[in-house]
Structure 1
Amino acid sequence: MKVLFGSQGLWDIVEVGFEEPDDIDIITDEKDEELILLRKQDNKALYHIYQAIDEVIFESISATQSSKEAWDMLYRTYRGEEKVKIVRLQMVRCEFDGLRMKDSETIKEFYNRTILLLK
């Protein structure tokens, strides 16, 4: 993803982000054009993030408002601290050990429930 963002000049907007100005009334035309460009870049980066993930992961980041926010959430979830990773792995192992398909459950429902364990 970093290579994709870098090749399209979007990595800075993902890594640093941008803030909407507090007082929109005092924005000059030049600043307004810059803000529009930053919004477009942010939306393009967010679009690429959404395209790179599956439905289950999308649900966890769909409420984010910017590419930086989505990227940071994904980073924390999948590249977190070592202790967090170990605890998360232990929790997933326990849940996976107890995973059984219910009689009333379709294969697709069971698959989706299994995938949810991994997010």
Structure 2
Amino acid sequence: MGEVIPVTMKKEGGSSSSIKCPMLTSSNYTVWAMRMKITLKVHKVWEVIETESVNGDKNDLATALLFQSIPEALILQVGDLDTAYKVWDAIKLRHMGAERVREARLQTLMAEFDQLQMKDSEKIDDFAGKLSEISSKSTALGVNIEEPKLVRKFLKCLPRKKYIQIVASLEQVLDLNNTGFEDIIGRLKAYEERVSEETEVEEEKGKLMYANSESQKYQSNQSDNGGSTARIFVSCSKKHKVENDETQNADELMMHELVFLNEKNVVPEKFETNA
């Protein structure tokens, strides 16, 4: 919100008190104006701005307080103005444009905050970082997002299928209005790690069951193929034996015919007697 400048105020009887003036920055005009109004009222000089009075002492005190709470560069721009009202009005005109820009940025940021949802594949740390970033930007623009709002937004944005159990438990056990944002992040991270470990165990079991199933299929196929091979081998052996027997008989018949046809050449006397 900028630097705070202490201003000493003298009271009746010689005592004094210190009142802090807020320092104006490029992004805190609205808050600065509210604080300065209170400061000027405490010093009993707000009326010179409200009524555009030119009362000498009060006008000088109000102007001095305003000069205490603005940067040097701005003092050089408004230093020639002769009344506190003119100084106040000049500061307002110079920052209203910046204020409109700030409000537009803030509206965009709040829309982003409302639409933000956590993806199924997203980690708790990553999503928490997004919420924290929006919260920091909002604070820089002058609006602080309170922790209960961050906590409820976080729980609402979690994927229900994956986190429904832990969300229901936290809502029943904890007082979300008094639970810190970092506390919720820690609990959800612990749950995320446990779910991740259980998922890995289930995946390993699934792989092991698949491997065993494939092994049994392979052994069954090998057994079936072995029987077929044996049957084919027996059939081939029988066929080969039959073919060998037929070939042997044919050879013996051919040999007998050859001997019969050449018998006269082999045993001439026997042939003549037979003739």
TM-score (norm 1): 0.50
Alignment of 1:54-73 (within 5 A): 54-73=71-90
1:2 aligns with 2:37: yes
Q: How big is the alpha-carbon RMSD for the aligned residues of Structure 1 and Structure 2?
A: 2.3
Uncovered stretches (5+) of structure 1, i.e. residues with no partner: 20-37, 87-119
Partner Cα separation in structure 2 for residue 15 and residue 68 of structure 1: 8
Which residue in 1 is equivalent to 2:57?
Answer: 40
Which residue in 2 is equivalent to 1:13?
Answer: 48
The aligned amino acid for 2:87 is A
The aligned amino acid for 1:47 is A
Q: Name the structure, 1 or 2, with higher relative contact order (CA <8 Å, separation 6+).
A: 1
Partner Cα separation in structure 2 for residue 80 and residue 9 of structure 1: 30
Q: Say if 2:47 and 2:53, in contact at 8 Å, map to a contact too.
A: no
Question: What is the aligned-residue identity percentage?
Answer: 18
Spell out, residue by residue over 1:5-32, the C-alpha distance to the aligned partner (whole angstroms, 9 max, x if none).
Answer: 011111111222225xxxxxxxxxxxxx
Which residue in 2 is equivalent to 1:50?
Answer: 67
The aligned amino acid for 1:2 is K
The aligned amino acid for 2:43 is Q
The aligned amino acid for 1:11 is W
Higher helix content, 1 or 2: 2
Count residues with an aligned counterpart: 67
Partner Cα separation in structure 1 for residue 56 and residue 39 of structure 2: 18
Partner Cα separation in structure 2 for residue 80 and residue 42 of structure 1: 27
The aligned amino acid for 1:10 is V
Give 4+ residue runs of structure 1 displaced > 3 Å after superposition.
none
Secondary structure in 1 matching 2:60: helix
Higher strand content, 1 or 2: 2
Deviation at 1:79, TM superposition (A): 2.4
Partner Cα separation in structure 2 for residue 73 and residue 61 of structure 1: 7
TM-score (norm 2): 0.23
The aligned amino acid for 2:50 is E
Which residue in 2 is equivalent to 1:78?
Answer: 95
Partner Cα separation in structure 2 for residue 6 and residue 77 of structure 1: 23
